[in-house]
Structure 1
Amino acid sequence: MDEIRKLKMATYHLFTFTISKLISTFGAQVYAFAISFHILQITGSATSFAANLLCNILPRTLISPFAGYVADKYSRKKIVILAQISTTLAISGLLYVSLTYGLSLTAIYITTSVLAIASTFSSVTFSSSITGLVDEARIQRAMSLNQMAMSFAAIGSPAAGGLLYGAVSMDTFLIIYIAASIAAVILESTMNFTLFAKRKTEGKTTESMFQSMKAGVSYLKTKQVLMTLIWLCLIVNFLFGAFEVGYSYVLIEKLNLSSQHFGFTQGAFAAGMLILSIYFSVRKEVKYPFLVSKRGILVIGFILGATALPLMIDLSYWAIFTFYMILMFSFGAMIIIINTPIQVMMQKMIEDDYKGRVFSLIETMAMALMPLGMILFGFLYDAVPGQYILLASAAILLGVVVTLARPSVVKKVHPELDGEKRVLSEAGTAV
């Protein structure tokens, strides 16, 4: 295939990838919204609701390393399509049970588990395939469009879910999801996952699964920058539990914000992500991604600490609402500023044959620590005033970033930065 045709195909991939991701993510989030309402409506039990969340998180954590191994060993196109077909069949099975016997908690839990497994295979494989789908110059745009699709889904799915849940039956709801999933399968089947791929071991390796995963860990250890990034991500995800638990607790229990206004602040978070995703999709690639992400995490630390501010000073109701709207918008924007440059850097740094295993290892560790953080901080908020937990978490986060991403580490990642500073300094002296 000549270069011009490849570039045209890459442009096509940008749109099909984004639309497919939007359909599948939007469908999954609307389904999660509706099924959560349904569980609470038929049982009124928080335990049943939590069990469904566990059926989503636990399979993802357990299956992610295996998904990475499969993504590195076999055809990534086949894996993505089979994962989406599995999603379609799982929802079709739930629809059959609903029409035949009526929805039961057991059927919902099984479906949620299957969807979580299929989603893990799909997300790990898609993350591993970006450099095969688009040319190197447009990796940042691909990552930004992916984030944009997720932001659109985050903003629109609660509204769509609420509207549909009140207007149509659960069976109609499931039929709509099945149709959306089939559309995603059709789009994914038209994509060429090997257009720019540089894989050498697809279907050739004789390693066992354990040996392959061990090789992935060994490869990761040779990349000091990646190890630093992973430690930063793990600590940020763990401390994010302080924000996840504390934010709802502070706004609803301590500051008595109405559910409607609380929802608006959540929407501001998604809006911040969306606007920055659009910005990154049209701007040129970030020159110093590690440095930009370091600064973004530092800002996240200050935002985490600022969350406690209305607990320590008297503010009017509308001042509190406005403060958290701005805070959450900034938080959403910072997530994109941190994630997009780092994801682009990782896409370029990690060899094609190891991407599945590396991305799955990162996802496994991040997902394993988030529930632990939420449980720990859940207990802490019952025992200690919220402002102290938020301020202490912010201080720890800032300290970790300053230590792990110290100037000497930044120089190793971006040695050209030192030379650029020297040139600017000499130019200033000459003036």
Structure 2
Amino acid sequence: MSPKSAPNSADSLLHHRAYLAFWCARTASSFGFQMLSVAVGWQIYAITGRAFDLGLIGLVQFFPSVLLALPAGHLADQFDRRRIVLIGQIVEWLAIVMLATMTLLHAINEAGVLLLIFAVSTAKAFESPSLQSMVPALVPTTLLPRAMAVNASAMQAAMIMGPALGGLLYVAGPGVVYAAAAALYLVSTVMVSQLRYEQAPPKREPATLKTLFAGVHFIRERKDVLGVISMDLFAVLLGGATALLPIFAKDILHTGPWGLGLLRAAPAFGALLMSLWLARHSMERNVGKIMFASVAGFGVATLVFALSKVLWLSLLALFALGAFDMVSMVIRGSLVQLDTPDAMRGRVSAVNAIFINTSNQLGEFESGMVAAWLGAVGSAVVGGIGTLAVVGLWVLLFPTLRRRQRLHMASSSA
């Protein structure tokens, strides 16, 4: 059954069951990955005692996510997506099992940890476009925005609780954390292997520059998709004030590590609560205006945080920042998936992932560079004003996005 057709009660129930299995699998692997990230950082620093090596962890994760995105998107549109996800999760599980085994046997070193994390990151790079492209086939079209919100709530919960759980288990040693993460990945792998997923037979095409960059061409031709992705890119690029939280906590708000922990958690809690609300409420009208308003709200929240001198106001601003960001993320994710034909979803998702990963990394770099010139407050103020300027400019450049009423458009007009 096409997800765009009106489902009868039996088909709808099957769709919900399939999505529930998918959601449980993603939740388990997300918790496992967050726990893994905490343990790897602690273990690497315990082995070497060098801050530089902590940067290497980010490096071995960043390069595969960007360099392999386009080939991974091509594969997602050429082969069975469920099988690609399953192979990726099996590779990740094997790498984590090796980490656990070598750690428990005291046979691990820095190079071994980095090599295995590189293997996990490479598998995730191939898995990601297929994973994102599966959702529209698991739920009816009208429920896709809610499904995206439920997905986001699981990711936010994993980001909040996963590191804390990993830190608690680390008391018993990194091997225990890796073993727990491997168990969660095993649960995810089993659920994906049993997932009922129907995909139209893909039209096989050889991997050429044209097919690899087909997602880029598609986004350029679809003004609404280009507008929503590029606006998010520049908003995140300019509004990366959270990278400066240690400076704000110590020098401006005059709080200690506990205050820094609250500041780091506030955006995630705002995003989590907003995702839970969006999972229960549909956005039926004025989605374009809501998108622009949420990004503008993100900019205003950044400005309030930049100028705040008291902890409670800074926490409130970061909470609002996370909530506004979640609204724009759900709209962007749903709109991109619904405006993209199934045969192109893997490649478009890959390009979208490049935008997101690049903006997150470069946004932190931009905030640090501007802070070196203007100070932390100046950097955050520039970011907030820049975000508002982007919203104003994009209102003029993408009028159809501003006037857009619904996330899903009829095929004749999409």
TM-score, normalised relative to structure 2: 0.91
Q: In the TM superposition, what are the counterparts of 1:409-424 in structure 2 within 5 Å?
A: 409-410=399-400, 413-414=403-404
Aligned to 2:174: 170
Instruction: State yes or no: 1:127 paired with 2:132.
Output: yes
Instruction: State yes or no: 1:181 paired with 2:179.
Output: no
How far, CA to CA, are the matches of 1:403 and 1:294 in structure 2? 11
Instruction: State yes or no: 1:105 paired with 2:110.
Output: yes
Amino acid across the alignment from 2:320 = S
How far, CA to CA, are the matches of 2:274 and 2:132 in structure 1? 20
Secondary structure in structure 2 of the residue aligned to 1:385: helix
Aligned to 2:245: 247
Distance 1:403 1:365, change over 3 A: same
The answer (yes or no) to whether the contact 1:10–1:134 under 8 Å persists in 2 is yes
The answer (yes or no) to whether the contact 2:39–2:178 under 8 Å persists in 1 is no
TM-fit CA distance, 1:211: 2.5
How far, CA to CA, are the matches of 1:137 and 1:366 in structure 2? 25
TM-fit CA distance, 1:100: 4.6
Q: 1:307-341 CA deviation, whole Å, 9 max, x = no partner? A: 2213xxxx5xxxx2211221121111111111112
Instruction: State yes or no: 1:347 paired with 2:337.
Output: yes
Aligned to 2:304: 306
How far, CA to CA, are the matches of 2:403 and 2:133 in structure 1? 22
Instruction: State yes or no: 1:114 paired with 2:119.
Output: yes
- Say which of 255, 258, 261 aligns to 1:257: 255
TM-fit CA distance, 1:105: 0.8
The answer (yes or no) to whether the contact 2:271–2:322 under 8 Å persists in 1 is yes
Aligned to 1:231: 230
The answer (yes or no) to whether the contact 2:32–2:184 under 8 Å persists in 1 is yes
Which has the greater radius of gyration?
1
The answer (yes or no) to whether the contact 1:69–1:209 under 8 Å persists in 2 is no
Aligned to 2:195: 191
How far, CA to CA, are the matches of 1:136 and 1:303 in structure 2? 32
Instruction: State yes or no: 1:374 paired with 2:378.
Output: no
Task: Detail structure 1 runs of 4+ shifted over 6 Å in the superposition.
Answer: none
TM-score, normalised relative to structure 1: 0.87
How far, CA to CA, are the matches of 2:335 and 2:131 in structure 1? 16
Aligned to 2:218: 219
Q: Which moved more, 1:373-382 or 1:170-179?
A: 373-382
How far, CA to CA, are the matches of 2:101 and 2:169 in structure 1? 20
Secondary structure in structure 2 of the residue aligned to 1:117: helix
Q: Which moved more, 1:327-336 or 1:250-259?
A: 250-259
The answer (yes or no) to whether the contact 2:169–2:177 under 8 Å persists in 1 is yes
Aligned to 1:420: none
Secondary structure in structure 1 of the residue aligned to 2:282: coil
Aligned to 2:412: none
Task: For structure 1, list consecutive stretches of 5 or more residues without a partner in the other structure.
Answer: 417-431
How far, CA to CA, are the matches of 1:269 and 1:374 in structure 2? 16
How far, CA to CA, are the matches of 1:162 and 1:365 in structure 2? 31
How far, CA to CA, are the matches of 2:376 and 2:214 in structure 1? 43
Aligned length: 402
- Aligned-pair Cα RMSD in Å: 2.2
How far, CA to CA, are the matches of 1:62 and 1:411 in structure 2? 30
Q: Which moved more, 1:23-32 or 1:370-379?
A: 370-379
Q: 1:259-310 CA deviation, whole Å, 9 max, x = no partner? A: 1122122222222111111111111244232221110000111111112213
Aligned to 2:204: 205
How far, CA to CA, are the matches of 2:378 and 2:50 in structure 1? 32
